[in-house]
Amino acid sequence: RDRIRALKQHVGVEIGFHGHNNLSLAMANSLVAIEEGATRIDGSVRCLGAGAGNTQTEVLVAVLDRLGVKTGIDLYKMMDLAEEIVAPMLPAPQEITRDSLVLGYAGVYSSFLLHARRIAEKLGMDARDILVELGKRKVVGGQEDMIVDVAVEMAKKRAESLVQ
């Protein structure tokens, strides 16, 4: 809310928003972004996207229509596109899995998951603990090298606590 508001107040361009659904908040966050002045909202049909996906376009169109926001999008056509064209192409429905949930909970990029799994297996750790620690440290995309460093540090601390 505060970020969209600040951008709207201080930048003279249209503001956009791209919501992830890892914590089941993509729709709520998209609506708040609109409320605060965002005019370009990303959506994905059937939530198609990394992790748990993004704000579901056909649902966003329906919600906005119910709220009286005119989008110019034909709701029924969007629903039909989602059900008849996109859904059959998906190997499985987009859902919030354990992996996508921990990514949202930790607040880290989906690209971290595979790296965390690999080092966790080598060190006998739970990848979720590594991801949560990376989130606490506010590690961002492009810092994947930090995943191994953090995991090794955590493993050393664990080993030291076992010795004591």
Which stretch, 2-11, 26-35, 49-58, has highest mean pLDDT?
26-35
* Distance in angstroms (rounded) separating the CA atoms of residues 90 and 71: 26
pLDDT tens per residue across span 13-37: 999 999 999 999 999 999 999 999 9
Question: Taking the alpha carbons of 106, 1, 96, 144 in that order, is the dihedral positive or negative?
Answer: negative
Q: Over pLDDT 90: what percentage of the chain?
A: 74
Nearest one of 19, 89, 95 to 52, comparing CA atoms: 95
Mean per-residue pLDDT, 102-111: 93
pLDDT, position 164: 74
Q: With 0-12 CB in 10 A as exposed, 13-18 as middle and 19+ as buried, what is 79?
A: middle
pLDDT tens per residue across span 109-151: 889 999 999 999 999 999 999 999 999 999 988 888 899 999 9
Question: Residue 48: which pLDDT band, with cuts at 50, 70 and 90?
Answer: confident
pTM of the model: 0.80
DSSP string, 47-114: G-SSTT-B-BHHHHHHHHHHTT------HHHHHHIIIIIIGGG-SS-----HHHHHHHHHT--TTHHH
* Distance in angstroms (rounded) separating the CA atoms of residues 111 and 114: 7
How far out from the chain centre does Cα 31 lie? Answer: 16
Question: Taking the alpha carbons of 24, 55, 20, 32 in that order, is the dihedral positive or negative?
Answer: negative
